[in-house]
Amino acid sequence: MKFPIRLSCLIAIFCQWAAAQAPIEHIIIKPTPGALATSLSAIHQNESLKAAAPSLEFDSALAGGAYRLRLPYAMSPAEAEAYVLSLHSHLDLEYAEPDWRVYPAVIPNDSYYQHEQWNLHSPNISNYGIDMPGAWAITTGSAEITVAVIDTGIVSHEDIEDNRILPGLNLQNKLLAPIDPDGGDVHGTHVTGIIAAQSDNGIGIAGIDWNAQILPVRAIGFNFGSITTLSEGIRWAAGDDSVYNSTVNLNVANVINLSVQTDGDRECSSTLQDAINFAVANDIIVVAAAGNFNLDSTGTSPANCKNVISVGATTYDGNRASYSNYGNMVTLSAPGGAIVGNYKILSTMSNNNYGYLSGTSMAAPHVAGVISLMLAANPLLSQEDIELILIGSATLFPADSDCHSKGCGAGILNAHRALEFASTYDEHLRSLLQNYARLVKNTDYSNLVGQHEKLQAEYEQLQQQILEQEQLQQSQQERIEKRLLGSSGSSSSGGCGAGSSSDATLPAAFSLAGIYLLRPRRNP
């Protein structure tokens, strides 16, 4: 099993869990107006104050009369809060506080995002979106990841960047590009927009992955295709050069989206299964729509094929969409929209238009898009890893949902939590997720709620342990470096570590004798 090298968080600068747990290296203090200065050296002569400000170093003077000070070592958030509380109780300060890290909140400016794309918003009691803002704070994707959309092809659109569309294949007519010739069947264009519409460009909609490339394969034409065209499309996207009379695919997919379904109640075709197995053997993740017959998905391909991630559809309120297939074959669900009403899925259509569609065909690309983000955050994830993460990170269905009896998978796609797990994935988290995945299929809803909360608590505890270990290693490294510097003959004077030439750069409240803070607070 492959695991990434841990760097605290693979995308540490944006990891929101790390934002809450990141070590604190500085504090900010603001002296009480008119307070008398007392040097640190004087403070350290007072036994009761020694613990209040050991080895603080001046960093910078801030506007408004405050100062930024460097702590003697990187502290945990709880330790830093206790530290400034002690400091404030001993010294005349208007305030003292940790210099918390601040992270961007990634909300795209696309015109339809805020009021029309409920499916991408953070989940709450009435809206079961997939929490893309949290996921985008970790990564918005990578151009190194390719998602194949095996569908009706695509049409040119203002909100789908041409330079992100790779040369594809038209299995309906291999002499033509993979586009719908008259633009009448926009199914593939709608699916593509969900995955990869250009985001934060001030127009239209936001796609899930802002940077992945799209490999279009037109396997369906004039409302239907065949097992042959679908299987050949999968193989070609997966790099099989033996596909008859086709160009060589120089852009092998990382993820394949299959928003298609067979008619009738039948097992997975052997030809189709062979094609899927070929893709999976080449480390390609295959996502399939569960089907729109309101039946058990065991009779609908490719959702009933082995080695696929099968996706059911949910509505705005988190319940199973009335049309969505269900059953043990479904891995998880994602927003597919309602048949009637306002809460369908908005995406790209022909003639630079935007329109609403509903179906498991719309649910599947939500999952495919999030998987492409997961691979951007952690390229070493296998299909098994990705399935475990999707299952363990899913938002639970509402308590009154019929999914608890019919089976709609582990829950509703939660992009934010999936990206957290993906970017911190290791053998310990894998073990937690394996245990949870076993429980999902064998535990009723009331017990699953507790197990879901337990998983999150264990994950946070695991990350805290890792963080503390890394902080200890960092602290040890810093001590070694200081000893080496000391043995090399370098010298410093006072807590500022400043030589005579730096004295002029310090504010009046500081000197080479140490940082001048404030007089001890007088007892009333």
Task: Pinpoint the alpha helices (H) of 409-444.
Answer: 415-423, 427-440
Active site residue 180: no
> Is-catalytic flag, 157?
no
Dist CA 311 CA 366 (whole Å):
9
For 46, 54, 65, the CA distances from 93, given in Å and listed in that order, are 18, 17, 11
Structure tokens at 105: 């909140």
Catalytic residue among 59, 110, 151, 185: 151
Annotated catalytic residue within 90, 157, 187, 452: 187
Provide the CB-side half-sphere exposure for 281 (13 A, CA).
Answer: 10
Residue 197 CA, distance from chain mean position: 18
Q: Which two tokens stand for residue 83?
A: 């530290």
- The dihedrals phi and psi of 313, each to the nearest 5 degrees, come to -115, 140
Identify the active-site residue in 199, 361, 372, 401. 361
Q: What is the 3-state secondary structure (H, E, C) of 160-176?
A: CCHHHECCCEECCCCCC
Structure tokens at 103: 């992270």
Characterize 375-399 residue by residue with b for buried, 16 or more Cβ atoms within 10 angstroms of its Cβ, and e for exposed: bbbbeebebebbbbbbbbbbbbbbe
Q: Is 187 a catalytic residue?
A: yes
Query: Can you count the helices (H) and strands (E) in the chain?
Result: 14, 13
Which residues fall within 8 angstroms of residue 236, CB to CB, at 6 or more apart? 169, 171, 217, 243, 246, 249
In angstroms, the first-to-last Cα distance of the chain is 65
Q: What Cα–Cα distance (Å) separates residue 448 from each residue in 276, 430, 433?
A: 32, 19, 13
Of residues 235, 188, 205, the one with CA closest to residue 368: 188
Q: Any idea which residue has 């194949």 for tokens? A: 148
Q: Name the 3-class secondary structure at 316.
A: coil
Spatial strand order of the sheet with 169-170 comes to 169-170, 213-218, 146-151, 255-258, 285-289, 309-314, 332-335
* Burial environment of residue 346 by CB neighbours within 10 A (0 to 12, 13 to 18, 19 or more): buried
How far is 414 from 208, CA to CA, in rounded Å?
A: 12
Nearest alpha carbon to residue 411 among 335, 497, 298, 510: 335
Buried/exposed code over 234-265 (b: 16+ C-beta within 10 A; e: otherwise): bbbbbbbeebeebeebeebbbbbbbbbbbeee
Cis peptide before 302 (omega within 30 of 0): yes
DSSP-based three-state secondary structure for 24: strand
Catalytic residue numbers read 151, 187, 361
